[in-house]
Amino acid sequence: MKERVKKHSQNHPKEISHLCGVCGIKCSTSYSLNLHLRIHTNDKPFACEICGKAFTQACILRRHLRIHTNDKPFACEICGKAFTQACILRRHLRIHTKEKPYVCEDCGKEFARRGHLTEHLRIHTNEKPFACEICGKVFNQACNLRRHLRIHTEGKPFVCEDCGKEFTQRSTLSAHLRIHTIEKPSACEVRRKVFSQKGILQRHLLTHMKKIIS
């Protein structure tokens, strides 16, 4: 019996733990540990000859090269749209399946992408990691910071094709366009008067309130 146990032990040698001394993560092999350590040392020996961007692994470089070659081997069987990476295809498929695997533990709201959940969580944590370098104002999303920066740069990329008026935000342009299209979605229930913008309706309603008070 002892001899059989000894032979069995020889056939299944004790698993060697390859532990990262920096963060404590366990790797299955010394090779995978060496790859992992590049995260801490910022060693990126595989560089793209086209744009110069460097990577920790050769496989990541090969994946990156598809951006330049426009090679998209992963195609959606439903709509035919093609992608450079399998993970991007999997993420795309959620549009068709309506799958939302990322759930907020605070309010239960569901998301198709992890990044969208991360952005949403900042509502609960009040985290605002995106700061304006000009005035110091902080935002919970990068898109909100970009929109804010237009105040400083005075750039108004959203132009009305009818009158040429420029706006810093798309939503402001949309509200303005109702003047030309005569679309007036906000109505006063007292006098049945309609307005192109909710803000104008609210100001109008104050006139009724003042009359009631007086």
Domain layout of the chain by residue ranges: 46-97, 102-154
Which pTM value belongs to this model? 0.43
| pLDDT attached to residue 25 | 87
Task: For 125-182, give the secondary structure using H, E and C.
Answer: HCCCCEECCCCCCEECCHHHHHHHHHHHHCCCCEECCCCCCEECCHHHHHHHHHHHHC
| pLDDT attached to residue 210 | 54
| pLDDT attached to residue 9 | 45
- Whether 102-154 and 46-97 are alike in CATH topology: the answer is yes
Ranges of the chain whose pLDDT falls below 70: 1-17, 154-155, 181-214
Alpha carbon separation from 88 to 24, 94, 97, 111, 162 (Å, rounded)? 30, 10, 15, 15, 39
Q: Is 132 exposed, middle or buried (0-12, 13-18, 19+ CB in 10 A)?
A: middle
| pLDDT attached to residue 151 | 77
Give tens-digit pLDDT for 140-194.
888 888 888 877 776 677 888 888 888 877 888 888 887 776 644 555 554 455 5
Q: Is 115 exposed, middle or buried (0-12, 13-18, 19+ CB in 10 A)?
A: exposed
| pLDDT attached to residue 14 | 47
Q: Is 160 exposed, middle or buried (0-12, 13-18, 19+ CB in 10 A)?
A: middle
CA dihedral in degrees (199, 205, 207, 208; nearest 10)?
A: 180
CATH number of 46-97: 3.30.160.60
Look at the domain 102-154 and name its fold: Double Stranded RNA Binding Domain (3.30.160)
| pLDDT attached to residue 193 | 58
